[in-house]
Structure 1
Amino acid sequence: MELEVKTLDGGAAGSITVSDEIFGLEPRADLIHRVVRWQLAKRQAGTHKTLGRSEVTGSTKKIVRQKGSGGARHGNKKAPQFRGGGRAFGPVVRDHGHDLPKKVRALGLKHVLSAKAKTASLIVVEDVKAAEAKTKAVKDRLLKGGLTNALIIDGAELDRNFQLASRNIPNVDLLPVQGINVYDIMRANTLVLTKAAVSALEERFK
């Protein structure tokens, strides 16, 4: 499969042959959905907590006598139905993450890359470098290339100037290739891969 290579501001810079096993698959929404769900569950904090009946402050004295009052047989004021009582079956601190096989995660990444390639939302660029760390200059280059909402994936090492200049641009994210993930790719309208990132991905899935 052959893709056109562009410069960051939209100019032509040749072409590149990429693997059909990574960029040419028929996208499967079910695999992509499973990986996104796994990612979001894994990053959920799970620190929500309410006080149960045994944890709230209150007297354990029996409210009324056991029989003869015409009321229910309550043991103390900490029961859930009373104001200030403990919460019944409230949330507890826990890990929301669940297991997902490595093969499914790898397939999900391949299928989301193929989905971007199929919808022409994937752009391959020569490199992403900036002569100086100036946000305006980088933003102008991205606007020329029509990149207003994009995820840019570079090689293992990011260009320091480009990293500093791009981090304050809304809807533009920059990641090294080892940080590539399905959720961030799905969030962005356009996926921008450098030639170094393409080489690293093909090496990873070899």
Structure 2
Amino acid sequence: MKLDVQTLAGKKSGSVDLDDSVFANEPRKDILHRMVRYQLAKRQAGTHQVQERGDVSKTTKRIGRQKGGGTARHGNGSVSQFRGGAKAHGPRVRSHAHDLPKKVRAMALRHALSAKANAKELIIIDDAVAASPKTADLRKQLAGLGVTNGLIVSGNAIEENFAKAASNIPNLDVLPSQGANVYDILKRHTLVLTKQAVADLEARLK
């Protein structure tokens, strides 16, 4: 697959051959769904906790008479029916992460890149470098490329001026090539890759 390479100014700057094994797969929704669930579950904090029976110190004296009271025969004040009692089967501190094979994770990233390429939502630029950290200048350049809601993946590191200029633009994410992931790719409408990012992703996923 061949795509044109553009500059941030919107001018053509050659072309690049994309590896079909990375950018020309038939996207499988089930694989993408599994990967998104894996990422969101892994980032969930899991710090929610309530007091259960063993955490509450209440009277253990029998409440009311055993018979004739007309109510249940409670023998402890820490049950959930009473004020100050414990929560029955409440949430505990735990990890929500689950396993997903490494091959499936790599396949999901290939399918996410292919989905953007198939939908004509992939733009290749020569480099993500800004002359100054001015947000207005970068916003104007991105508007010229047709990017209003997008993810920009640069090379090994994000250039400082570009990162500062992009930080104030809503609906725009910037990641290094090593940080490219399925959830962030699918979350934004347009995927913008630098030539270095294309080379890094192909080397990572071949």
Residue 89 (structure 2) aligns with: 89
1: CA distance between counterparts of 2:39 and 2:173? 18
TM-score (norm 1): 0.96
1:47 Cα offset (Å): 0.8
- The two structures, once aligned, show a CA RMSD in angstroms of 1.2
Corresponding residue for residue 165 of structure 1: 165
- Gaps (5+ residues) in structure 1? none
Distance 1:71 1:28 in 2: 58
Q: Is the 8 A contact 1:153 1:175 kept in 2?
A: yes
Residue aligning to 2:36: 36
Which amino acid in the other structure matches residue 192 of structure 2? Answer: V
Could you tell me which runs of 5 or more consecutive residues in structure 2 were left unpaired when the two chains were aligned. none
Q: Which residue of 2 aligns with 1:55?
A: 55
Deviation at 1:84, TM superposition (A): 2.1
- Alpha-carbon deviations, 1:15-53, whole Å to 9, x = none? 110100000111111111100000000000111111112
TM-fit CA distance, 1:118? 0.1
- For 2:156, the aligned partner's letter is A
Structure 2 residue aligned with 1:46: 46
- What is residue 21 of structure 1 aligned with on the other side? 21
Separation in 2, partners of 1:153, 1:45: 26
**Maintained 8 Å contact 1:9/1:143:** no
1:1-206 alignment runs, 5 A limit: 1-206=1-206
SS of structure 1 residue aligned to 2:192 = strand
CA drift of 1:67 comes to 3.2
Q: 2:15 is paired with a residue of what secondary structure? A: strand
Give the letter aligned to residue 89 of structure 2. F
CA distance in 1, matches of 2:165, 2:70: 74
Q: Distance in 2 between matches of 1:86 and 1:31?
A: 41
Partner of 1:147: helix, strand, or coil?
A: coil
Number of matched residues? Answer: 206
CA distance in 2, matches of 1:37, 1:49: 22
Q: Could you tell me how far apart the structure 1 residues matched to 2:57 and 2:32 are? A: 47
Q: 1:60 offset after TM fit, Å?
A: 2.0
Shift of 1:133: 1.2
Q: Name the % identity.
A: 55
- Measured in 2, the distance between the counterparts of 1:62 and 1:174 equals 63
Q: Specify the SS of the correspondent of 1:151.
A: strand
